[in-house]
Amino acid sequence: MRKWTAVSVFASLSIYTSFFTYYDTLATNSQGKSSHDVDKAVVAHQRLVSDVYTPLEEKLITLQSQVTFYENAKIKEMEGNGLSGEKGFGAKARSFAEEAQKADYEASELKPIVDSIGTLFKQDTSKIVSEKILENDRKALAAVPKKYLPKKYQNKPDLERADYVDEETTVKLLEPFHKVKRGEPPAIASLMIATMVDGMVIMLGTAIEPRRRNAPFEVPAQFFSSVILGIKNACATVIKAFDKSAHAYIGLRADETIGLRGGVDLVTLRLKGRGSDFLEEFYHAIDPKTGIIDFIRLQENANTTFAIGYRMLLDELRNPRLQLVKIEADQWCIVMDYYSPLMSWLREEMLHQGEQEEEPGIPENFYATSRNVKIRIPQGR
């Protein structure tokens, strides 16, 4: 009885200590960092960027687009080619000038802030440990003026360490228990390998009798020894596979991505009315035979916010990331190779806007005033 108690204790200790060796090999990446901890820190960093920096960057882009639009609209009004048809610096021209000045003031105030914090938020997280990611994010958050912070960050100016670092790993001795309990695949695999290799070696070693003439376990021992050798060779192959660098991910084709709501960017437009009506009018302005967009019809829309929104939407679809529309012979038109995918996206987004507008609890006068409408556009070709 004492013999097997001692064997069980030493077998457990051997398995427990071997766990660390196998786990460090299976769960550590090429930079020597725990993949679980780094993934947790990267997710927290990306959440911070999405909550704080991205809205400021999008707001700056929107303001700059508004400045350009209002300036062009003012010039057309002064030349007599605007919506009012009046030549000179009339009421409509003054209105456009005031809007342009207001947007330019906001943009000039916001741009230095976005430029200064951009390098802090756009850190390369692939080569640093989770503690360093947390330290850099705290510096980035502290650099943002309080009035530009979302409410939840104004009330909680410091970042939680638990969101970045796995607190369970601070007690190294209890790490195997926590990782196996959490169900991490590397931890479970390490425990199985350590149990099979170390446990079986100890059990077989105690089972072999010292006198060869009375060695009934000799044949089974040789059999299990060959099995253990095979397992160790297999483990070596698995470890080499973990050490190899992964192949670069190849993204989806344009015709696959453009229709998916998962791969989209958001463009916020200030509209008075329904987003579905805005997109429906845009749809009717497209010639299905030539792909030409009736820009004059869009700009003469009685709803001024719609006219501004169409120009901003076209500018976004024309930017170098997408290039889904272009200006050819002084006419806006769709790149014909992307006509069908673009129409599919437009129909999907019209349906999506309609579903949002049908949600219960929306008051009748909700669409009578200007509000922010988020339009989902394809992320890129």
Q: Do 62 and 157 fall within a single domain? A: yes
* 30 secondary structure, DSSP code: T
In this prediction, residue 242 carries a pLDDT of 62
Residue 218, φ and ψ in degrees, nearest 5 = -65, -45
Cα-Cα-Cα-Cα dihedral of 50, 107, 102, 97, to 10°? -120
- Is this prediction's pTM over 0.85? no
Q: How many domains does the chain have?
A: 3
β-bridge partners, 292:
333
User: Could you list the pLDDT tens digit for every one of the 381 residues in the chain?
Assistant: 565 576 566 566 566 566 556 555 555 544 444 555 557 788 888 888 888 889 988 888 998 898 899 888 888 877 777 666 677 777 777 888 898 889 899 888 888 988 888 888 887 777 778 788 888 888 888 888 888 888 878 777 678 777 777 665 555 555 665 566 666 676 676 667 767 666 665 666 555 555 555 455 566 766 676 667 667 666 766 665 565 544 333 333 444 334 434 456 788 999 999 999 999 999 999 999 999 999 999 999 999 999 999 999 999 899 888 889 999 999 999 999 889 988 999 999 999 999 988 888 888 788 888 889 999 887 665
Q: Which of 131, 165, 199 is the last residue of a domain?
A: 165
Q: Do 193 and 144 fall within a single domain? A: no
Q: Do 308 and 352 fall within a single domain? A: yes
Q: State the residue range of the domain holding 61.
A: 35-165
Which 3 state secondary structure label does DSSP give 171?
coil
Q: Which of 243, 271, 294 is the last residue of a domain?
A: 243
Residue 285 CA to residue 333 CA, distance in Å, equals 10
Radius of gyration for the chain, computed over Cα atoms and rounded to the nearest angstrom: 32
Q: Is residue 248 part of a domain?
A: no
Q: Is residue 250 part of a domain?
A: no
Q: Do 182 and 147 fall within a single domain? A: no
Terminal C-alpha separation, the chain: 71
Nearest to 162 by CA among 38, 51, 40: 40
Query: What would the two tokens of residue 252 be?
Result: 């989806």
Task: Count CB atoms within 10 A of the CB of residue 105.
Answer: 12
Q: Is residue 249 part of a domain?
A: no
Q: Do 229 and 303 fall within a single domain? A: no
Q: Do 64 and 160 fall within a single domain? A: yes
Q: Is residue 79 part of a domain?
A: yes
Q: Which of 194, 214, 243 is the last residue of a domain?
A: 243
Q: Do 178 and 147 fall within a single domain? A: no
Q: For residue 5, what are the CA distances in angstroms to 10, 12, 207, 240?
A: 9, 11, 14, 37
Q: Do 41 and 21 fall within a single domain? A: no
Q: Is residue 180 part of a domain?
A: yes
Q: Do 215 and 325 fall within a single domain? A: no
On whether the CB atoms of residues 327 and 366 are closer than 8 A, the answer is no
Q: Alpha-carbon torsion 286, 290, 292, 294, what sign?
A: negative
Q: Do 172 and 160 fall within a single domain? A: no
Q: Is residue 82 part of a domain?
A: yes
96 burial via Cβ count (<10 Å: 0-12, 13-18, 19+)? buried
Q: Is residue 176 part of a domain?
A: yes
Q: Do 47 and 129 fall within a single domain? A: yes
Q: Do 151 and 73 fall within a single domain? A: yes
Q: Is residue 263 part of a domain?
A: yes
In this prediction, residue 72 carries a pLDDT of 86
